[in-house]
Amino acid sequence: MSFNCRFAPSPTGPLHIGGVRTALFNWLLARKNNGKFFLRIEDTDKERSKEDFKLQIINSLKWLNIDYDGNEYIQSKNISKHVAAAEELVKKGFAYKCYCSEDEINEQKEKCKKQGIPYVYNRKWRDPKDLKIPKDLKPVIRFKSKISGNTIIKDLVQGERNISNSTIEDFIILRKDMTPTYQLSATVDDHEMKITHVIRGDDHMINSFKQKQIYEAMKWSVPNFAHIPLIHSEKGKKLSKRDNASTINDYIKIGIIPEALRNYLLRLGWSYKDKEIFSLKESIDLFNFEGIGKSPSKLDMSRILSMNETYIKSMNEKDLFKKLIEFSQEFKTKIDESKENIVFKALNFLKNKAKTLEDIYNNSLYIISDNLKISNDDKSLIDKKSQEIISNFITDYEKLSDLNKENLEQIIKNLINKHKTNFKGVGQPLRIGLIGTKFGPGIYDIILSLNKTTVINRLKKIV
RNA sequence: GGUCCCAUCGUCUAUCGGUUAGGACACAUGGUUUUCAUCCAUGAAAGAGGGGUUCGAUUCCCCUUGGGACCGCCA
């Protein structure tokens, strides 16, 4: 059995994380079933579709390593086929021209609103025998939706869904300017592309009932449908482009890595036993319709961060370093090549204090940046005694021929004894002097990661 | 308002009639540590309510409540 699916976003805004998850689910299933995964750009809304958004969508998928088969399929290039299908539906008696003006429709809507009854198009032109065709109006084409009976969809996620046909109005498939609407275009394209599985957000459920009628009217085989529950914002509503941290870029710019986001998204609305961490291969092997839940799930930033932390800690340091360099280049000041080696070596302790690439970057600023800024609060912690300790340290440190942790430990131990203090009494002023803040990596890690002259110069500045 | 849907810790979820209702994140406490972290240990934390069905319901059915989606010549 073949398995063809697609992700079909409209380029009318940046792709948000809900769309990304829909794409991921489609892609996973296609790869698991040795099927095809296509990307279709639904750009039939000429007013709002933008090339930039199309590129953003493509780049978002690329960033997540979701690859699609063939080139992206541009829906607007196929409009003539959509129109032809509409004409065929009219010819076969499954669709008709409607000459209601927009004013007339709006009037009806108003009327319904006043009476408190739901508006449904009154099917005025479905049977036009007593009507005069107005000369000055261009018609729309409406689909002759079934009036009686029920339509059933055996949804792969939601189970059997049943709706009374009377609740579906005669929806428009061709606008008065002869351009196709979503219902028509999507159906024709899915048929043309031989899509076997339509996997999309639950907000499309009603559309599937409409589209199923088009398939049947055209005598096309109806694909399988799977409506996955939506992702809600922290406020519990459907995610919208206005919600902050909802586009991929919002995550890239704080240093979330794609593997972590993929794993997070995978587990949002889907589960496999108690398993939390899935390699790419495991995701493909294990992902299935059965594990997809029915209720919407909320976005949880702390979990994304935690997942990212897990991946940062476990990932190959060379790969991590590469990502860090790219991150610095794109969102910060690029790490200077002369510092790259030092940062790379420091990665083994830096990564343990980080949830994001941004955290690593910030924690490595003491290496990257040549002039440290010390806050007044921290400066005030360096008193006379501390300065004396640091001076002593400099002297001992300068004499050191062999730099290693044991030697440093010895120096600091001696200083603690000599000045009758504790580790903090020595470590804190050193840390402030070397990295500009009292929080940071272990003091030995700091000292050993910097070269000798840097250590001495920085410390001399505060004594 | 109409149609459809959903309902287990704060969050993501496990359980497919019999469990001390499990895990993860977050949270709290304690320990390790050299600060912040990490790490380790421990803890608190859930079946919305009411009816059935059944020897037995979180699980099956109904109602209520709560939440959501859709109701465009947008997609």
Tens digits of residue pLDDT in A276-296: 999 999 999 999 999 999 999
Q: A180 CA, B12 C1': separation in Å?
A: 40
Element (H, E) at A196: none
Give the C-alpha distances (Å, rounded to integers) separating A318 from A160, A259, A324, A343: 49, 15, 10, 11
Which nucleotide shows the minimum CA-to-C1' distance to residue A442?
A: B34
- Indicate whether A333 pLDDT > 80: yes
Other CB atoms within 10 Å distance of the CB of residue A439: 10
Mean pLDDT of A407-414: 90
- Indicate whether A142 pLDDT > 80: yes
Contact A355, A306 (CB under 8 A): yes
Share of chain A above pLDDT 70, in %: 100
Which nucleotide shows the minimum CA-to-C1' distance to residue A405?
A: B34
> Alpha-carbon distance A121 to A124, whole Å?
8
pLDDT of A305 reads: 97
Torsion of CA A8, A12, A14, A18, to 10 degrees: -40
Which nucleotide shows the minimum CA-to-C1' distance to residue A121?
A: B71
Q: A57 CA, B16 C1': separation in Å?
A: 38
Strand B bases with any atom < 7 A from protein Cβ: 1-8, 10-14, 22-26, 33-39, 67-75
Mean pLDDT of A370-374: 81
Q: A295 CA, B7 C1': separation in Å?
A: 8
Min mean pLDDT across A185-194, A268-277, A365-374 is at: A365-374
Mean pLDDT of A160-181: 95
Min mean pLDDT across A12-26, A38-52, A242-256, A350-364 is at: A242-256
For B24, nearest residue by CA–C1' is A276
Q: A157 CA, B59 C1': separation in Å?
A: 19
- Indicate whether A76 pLDDT > 90: yes
Query: Which residue from A254, A252, A454 is spatially nearest to A369, judged by alpha carbons?
Result: A454
pLDDT of A203 reads: 96
* Model confidence pLDDT, tens digit, residues A227-238: 999 999 988 899
> Alpha-carbon distance A223 to A191, whole Å?
8
pLDDT of A463 reads: 79
For B35, nearest residue by CA–C1' is A439
Q: A312 CA, B37 C1': separation in Å?
A: 15
Q: A62 CA, B43 C1': separation in Å?
A: 44
Cβ neighbors of A463 (< 8 A, separation 6 or more) are: A387, A390, A391, A394
> Alpha-carbon distance A34 to A350, whole Å?
41
> Alpha-carbon distance A38 to A9, whole Å?
11
At residue A292, φ and ψ (nearest 5 deg) are -85, 130
pLDDT band at A246 (very low <50, low <70, confident <90, very high): confident
- Number of helices and strands in chain A (H, E): 20, 12
* Model confidence pLDDT, tens digit, residues A105-133: 888 888 877 777 778 888 888 887 877 88
Which nucleotide shows the minimum CA-to-C1' distance to residue A277?
A: B24
Which nucleotide shows the minimum CA-to-C1' distance to residue A427?
A: B34
Q: A352 CA, B31 C1': separation in Å?
A: 19
Cβ neighbors of A81 (< 8 A, separation 6 or more) are: A188, A192
* pTM assigned to the model: 0.95
